[in-house]
Amino acid sequence: MRVAVVGLGIAGASALYWLSKQGAQADGYDQFYPGSEQGSSHGSARIIRYSYPDPLYAGLMKEGYRLWRELESATDRQMIITTGGIYFGPADHPEIIATESALIECGADYEKLSHAADRFPLIKFYDGEAALYQPDMGYITEPGRCAEEIVRRSHARFQGDRVLRVDPDGSVHTRSSVTKYDAVIIAAGAWMNQFAPNLPVAPTAQQMVYFRPTLPISQFSPPNYPVWIDADTHYYGLPWNGKTQGIRVSAHIRGPQIDPDADRPDLNEETDRIRAYIDRRLSGLSDDVVFSSPCVYTNTPDEDFVLDFSPESKKIVYLSACSGHGFKFGPLMGKLAAEMALSGDRSIPPERFRLDRLLK
């Protein structure tokens, strides 16, 4: 069976790998390169976690972690750095309550900390707050290189050409060729609307910001300083990775909507909001930005993923593991998309990821 994958961020790269592993003749298309800086699968790190207020995603991560470990073995490359991490906020916050419930439901180890400030002195905790410590939490290092290495180990053919359209019969049109496939997986990220104009996804510009520490940077390493997420404000941070000159603090809050083919907008106001957050929540960081890097979210209205066949053809699979929390699920979503393309079975992914919820 001959299958194309359009878009080689982490989800598309993973789909290409699993297709090849299952014996398909697979071709990968990307207008830039696997894990390019123009998309959503780049930078120095992405958080990986069981800690979710939604039991669906917490439960999916059991298989998600397993597949990451399988890819580590296949590529002979460490991808996950386990640091432990905390999900904190007001003890009565709905997301704290729901996250603890989801951790219990999926069977993940966790600890509800009574003296979080003693354990993590660089984070300011306030009266009435709770912190859920989860030992498997950490980050995926060098996301773009992960995607690149997964594509390389797939031994599939890579075509660095922009796909202009995909026909219902499986024909892939680029600027230089037309090739017909038995199935096509479209994992185009911020460019999804080019192929699915009725799909209500909105690409937004985001900012990854690294601040200069006023303490020795090594103090921002585990176990002193973990991966953390603030459930109330949706700010988050990562520990020092031993390479950068700054410490990353960012916000999981939608930025301005963008045209993915245009220059990225100025996000200085977002950086100022992060500075204000640091001032009230963290010790040992200055407001001096060492460097910042733009990123793109591709958002659905409900922030659930999309994994379904095109309404026009079962030869076309739409894969959009997105809304700013999809990277950790890339290997799993890619594998599910590959299985759909090869089998034609719509029941493989969770029903919540179906298109019809968005096209009503």
10-residue stretch averages of pLDDT, the chain, 360 residues long? 98 98 98 89 92 98 98 97 98 98 98 95 97 98 96 95 97 97 97 93 91 97 97 97 93 88 86 96 96 89 96 96 91 98 95 90
Which of the listed residues 279, 299, 319 is the one where a domain comes to its end?
Answer: 299
Identify the CA nearest to 58 among candidates 6, 127, 107, 11: 107
Domain co-membership, 26 together with 133: no
Asked whether residue 121 is domain-assigned, the answer is yes
Asked whether residue 80 is domain-assigned, the answer is no
Total number of domains constituting the chain: 2
Give me the residue label for tokens 């499986």: 170
Domain co-membership, 316 together with 243: no
How far are the Cα atoms of 78, 239, 289 from residue 271, in angstroms, in the given order? 31, 19, 9
Domain co-membership, 222 together with 250: yes
Domain co-membership, 151 together with 286: no
Give me the residue label for tokens 């707050």: 129
Asked whether residue 277 is domain-assigned, the answer is yes
Domain co-membership, 208 together with 278: yes
Q: Tell me what pLDDT residue 87 has.
A: 98
Asked whether residue 54 is domain-assigned, the answer is no
Numbers of helices and strands, H then E, in the chain: 9, 20
Rg of the chain over CA atoms, in angstroms?
20
Q: Tell me what pLDDT residue 360 has.
A: 64
Domain co-membership, 184 together with 331: yes
Asked whether residue 48 is domain-assigned, the answer is no
Domain co-membership, 209 together with 293: yes
Identify the CA nearest to 136 among candidates 69, 77, 75, 230: 69
Which of the listed residues 254, 269, 299 is the one where a domain comes to its end?
Answer: 299
Residue numbers of the domain that contains 172: 2-42+143-198+302-359
Global pTM value: 0.95
Asked whether residue 50 is domain-assigned, the answer is no
Secondary structure (3-state) at 185: strand
